[in-house]
Structure 1
Amino acid sequence: MELSGKMIPCGSREAVVTVLSYSNGIMDGYLQHPRLDGREKIQSLSQMVLLLNSLVDLEDCPNCSLPLVSREQEADGKHSVFRIQVLFREHYSWQGRLIWQNENQEIVFRSVIELIQLFDEILGE
């Protein structure tokens, strides 16, 4: 993972996750965030959480407003695209929103465990 050194406004707490395939917690996809140069490959839910946590750590501002991240849509509909918005965080107690762009659904989560469970429920179907 290479983090860009560019100046990003405080509040870049939104990431876009594109899932190419998923089976029993094994994910093939990528995560995009304003602090990353391009896409970061992800292969599991835990890897996604750890990467997102390290990106939020860089913010050093506990209760920031929501940022804007480009909303890349997959035209062929074969991929699942999610936006993860971390609204509040204290250690691994996160609160935020998971937005499933393909289905135009928004789900609130109250912890990292709940976020992982949401991904597993949605993608396991």
Structure 2
Amino acid sequence: MSFMTKEMYFTIALLSYENGVICGHLHSPVLKKSIQLHNLTELILIMDQIMKDLNIPEYDERYHHVIIKNQLLDVELDYQELKQDNFEKYLNRSLMYPKKSKDIFMVKVMYRQNNTWQGKITWLRTNRVRFFRSELELANLIYSVIDKYHK
């Protein structure tokens, strides 16, 4: 990857939510194609693997570093060759989501410190923005929207 951005961008398009299980697609400008999701755990694991593979955002090694090989992830990740002149095109393309999506979230991971992520999530239906300090807090924000609006 010849072009490096300091943040990682993801679009999460949820298609269904039944009995606590989400289904949908994960989009990112670094991926050649979207990835189908079957649950929130899979979503977090895939996002984490992408950031580890590309080191975006760069991991802050001033803090202790634990390397865990993810045995649960069984998804092939195919990355784009990003350059400064095509990044915006791929970012805009990753924002294209199925029209039948129930909810769409934009996630921007700005930092990876203390073995977790920090960033912001925007729920596109209401343009509501929240900041998160960990993957667990991100998952909780997604579930809070789903639980409130899809009962």
TM range (shorter): 0.7 to 0.9
Distance across 2 between alignment mates of 1:116 and 1:83: 13
How many residue pairs get aligned? The number is 116
Distance across 2 between alignment mates of 1:23 and 1:92: 31
- Rate the CA distance shift 1:24–1:119 in 2: closer, same or farther, 3 A: farther
- Residue of structure 2 equivalent to 1:62: 59
- Residue of structure 1 equivalent to 2:111: 88
Distance across 1 between alignment mates of 2:3 and 2:106: 18
- Residue of structure 1 equivalent to 2:146: 123
Structure with bigger helix share is: 2
- 2:43 is matched with which residue: 37, 40, 48? 48
* Bigger relative contact order (CA 8 A; separation at least 6): 2
| Structure 1 residue ranges, 4+ long, deviating more than 6 angstroms after superposition | none
SS in structure 1 at match of 2:14: strand
- Residue of structure 2 equivalent to 1:72: 96
Deviations 1:71-121 (A, max 9, x none): 225556x52111111111136421110111121111111111111111111
Opposite residue 114 of structure 1, the aligned amino acid is E
Q: If you compute each CA radius of gyration, which structure gives the higher value, 1 or 2?
A: 2
How much identity, in percent, do the aligned residues show?
22
- Rate the CA distance shift 1:74–1:40 in 2: closer, same or farther, 3 A: closer
Structure with bigger strand share is: 1
Unaligned runs of 5+ in 1: 1-5
